[in-house]
């Protein structure tokens, strides 16, 4: 079997562009990949335009390891977010092809299911005014959709520090969410790499009484020694540290693992070379007793891929999901992803990823010129600036 054609497509939404690839073969089997490159859509498309004829066309989709290693190494320059996203798009589509060729769901090709259902958490649910009353009502709505874990960044446009009044406001928002959902729903605190270490520690102490499930990316991702400083300081609070969505190669994770500066790894398979690379990382993380909670801000194909990975990963913890709180056409672009019920996804069904690409929907919502900026007021409403 050989890859004969790859067609990139972009689905525009209010705050993100989703890049799809349709990978066709000489045997008529078609696979699909997808990612959401944050503010880098055209860069990923440009990378694909150069790399597809060089590495992908004419390649056997069953030889995933050879294909991804060539894409990673043979351009000589260091791979980062753009390259690893491009690799992931093709790699995930290859797994879809293999599953369809063998009439098996992808998770069985990754070692088989180690669980019967996949725990989920909601994100993107708090697109309301930053008041306790509005966050309280939004949290109730998210729980009513079946979620038993919610992630939230209550920190506005905060960067490095927060004024006392703004800090009190953030505490009030988390207090309102806890009141809305009760004691049995996880509240996951997203910090988006906003703070310097002392501020991150101070905020963690303020929020610890509300029993958060984790503190995510408390400091920017470039300085893992700073993350270690925060991790050590808040360890007595008993709240784990989660991070990893902005680390894109195994070599970046090496330092994180050696420092043991986090408890939960949030690698994004669609920015980390795909499913095989992420499965290897999970095995490595398990040696440090770290759990996996893969980042997923993508659309239906990204979600399907994440669910197959989760099904077959022993140290998996919980899966992020946005699309129950997005425009309807996001799900319509690739139907087949199972729905969350009582806080869990059922196992995906195959063959392959178990989804079907709807190109008519993608054509109806073309790429938008967006700038999604987490350091502006009201970014949480998921309404990106249009350039």
Do the domain assignments include residue 227? Answer: yes
138 and 51 assigned to the same domain:
no
Domain end residue (candidates: 54, 69, 104): 104
75 and 144 assigned to the same domain:
no
Q: Say what the pTM is.
A: 0.97
Nearest in space to 309 (alpha carbons), one of 332, 283, 335, 290 = 283
* Contact (Cβ atoms closer than 8 angstroms) between residue 353 and residue 96: yes
Domain end residue (candidates: 44, 77, 104): 104
148 and 87 assigned to the same domain:
no
125 and 247 assigned to the same domain:
yes
Residues contacting 358, CB < 8 A, separation 6+: 332, 333, 334, 335
Do the domain assignments include residue 384? Answer: no
CATH code: domain of residue 362: 3.20.20.120
What would the pLDDT profile of 37-46 be if each residue is shown by its tens digit? 999 999 999 9
Q: Name the strand (E) or helix (H) holding 23.
A: strand 17-25
The confidence band for 383, taking pLDDT boundaries of 50, 70 and 90, is: confident
- Check pLDDT > 90 for residue 143: yes
- Check pLDDT > 90 for residue 386: no
Domain span including residue 192: 108-369
Question: CA 76 to CA 98: how far, in whole Å?
Answer: 29
Active site residue 308: no
What angle separates helix 64-73 from helix 81-102, to the nearest 10 degrees? Answer: 170
Collapsed DSSP state (helix, strand, coil) of residue 150: strand
The strand ranges marked E within 70-221 are 117-122, 149-152, 186-190, 214-216
353 and 258 assigned to the same domain:
yes
286 and 365 assigned to the same domain:
yes
Q: Is 102 exposed, middle or buried (0-12, 13-18, 19+ CB in 10 A)?
A: middle
Active site residue 59: no
What would the pLDDT profile of 325-373 be if each residue is shown by its tens digit? 999 999 999 999 999 999 999 999 989 999 999 999 999 999 999 999 9
pLDDT at 265 (0 to 100)? 98
The total number of structural domains that make up the chain = 2
Domain end residue (candidates: 104, 126, 158): 104
169 and 242 assigned to the same domain:
yes
Question: CA 17 to CA 35: how far, in whole Å?
Answer: 9
Do the domain assignments include residue 376? Answer: no
78 and 164 assigned to the same domain:
no
- Residue 238 Ramachandran class (φ > 0 left, ψ -120 to 50 alpha, else beta): left
92 and 141 assigned to the same domain:
no
Do the domain assignments include residue 38? Answer: yes
Nearest in space to 228 (alpha carbons), one of 261, 193, 195 = 261
135 and 75 assigned to the same domain:
no
Nearest in space to 207 (alpha carbons), one of 170, 260, 179 = 170
From 59, 295, 308, 321, the catalytic residue: 295
216 and 267 assigned to the same domain:
yes
Q: What is the mean pLDDT of the chain?
A: 97
60 and 143 assigned to the same domain:
no
From 59, 192, 271, 321, the catalytic residue: 192
């Amino acid at each position: 079997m050989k890859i004969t054609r790859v067609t990139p497509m972009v689905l525009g939404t209010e705050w993100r562009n989703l890049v799809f690839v349709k990978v066709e073969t000489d045997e008529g089997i078609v696979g699909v990949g997808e990612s959401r490159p944050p503010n880098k859509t055209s860069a990923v498309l440009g990378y694909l335009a150069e790399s597809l004829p060089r590495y992908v066309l004419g390649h056997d989709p069953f030889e995933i390891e050879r294909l991804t290693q060539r894409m990673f190494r043979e351009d000589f320059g260091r791979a980062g977010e753009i390259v690893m996203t491009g690799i992931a798009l093709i790699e995930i589509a290859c797994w879809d092809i293999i599953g369809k060729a063998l009439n098996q769901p992808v998770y069985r090709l990754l070692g088989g299911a180690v669980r019967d259902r996949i725990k989920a958490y909601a994100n993107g649910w708090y697109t309301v005014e930053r008041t306790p009353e509005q966050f309280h009502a939004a949290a109730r709505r998210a729980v009513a959709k079946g979620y038993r874990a919610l992630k939230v960044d209550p920190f506005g446009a905060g960067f490095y520090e927060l004024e006392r009044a703004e800090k009190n406001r953030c505490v009030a928002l988390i207090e309102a969410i806890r009141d809305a959902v009760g004691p049995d729903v996880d509240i996951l605190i997203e910090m988006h790499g906003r703070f310097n270490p002392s501020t991150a520690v101070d905020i963690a102490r303020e929020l610890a009484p509300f029993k958060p499930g984790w503190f995510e990316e408390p400091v920017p991702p470039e300085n893992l020694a700073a993350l270690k400083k925060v991790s050590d300081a808040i360890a007595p609070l008993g709240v784990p540290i989660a991070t990893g969505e902005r680390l894109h190669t195994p070599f970046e994770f090496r330092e994180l693992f050696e420092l043991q500066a986090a408890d939960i790894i949030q690698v994004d398979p669609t920015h980390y070379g795909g499913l095989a690379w992420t499965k290897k990382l999970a095995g490595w993380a398990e040696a440090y007793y770290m759990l996996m909670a893969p980042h997923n801000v993508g659309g239906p194909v990204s979600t399907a891929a994440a669910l197959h990975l989760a099904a077959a990963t022993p140290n998996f913890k919980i899966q992020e999901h946005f699309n129950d709180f997005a425009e309807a056409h996001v799900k319509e672009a690739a139907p087949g992803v199972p729905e969350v019920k009582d806080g869990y996804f059922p196992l995906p069904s195959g063959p392959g990823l178990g989804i079907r690409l709807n190109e008519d929907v993608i054509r109806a919502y073309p790429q938008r010129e967006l700038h999604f900026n987490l350091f502006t007021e009201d970014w949480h409403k998921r309404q990106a600036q249009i350039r």
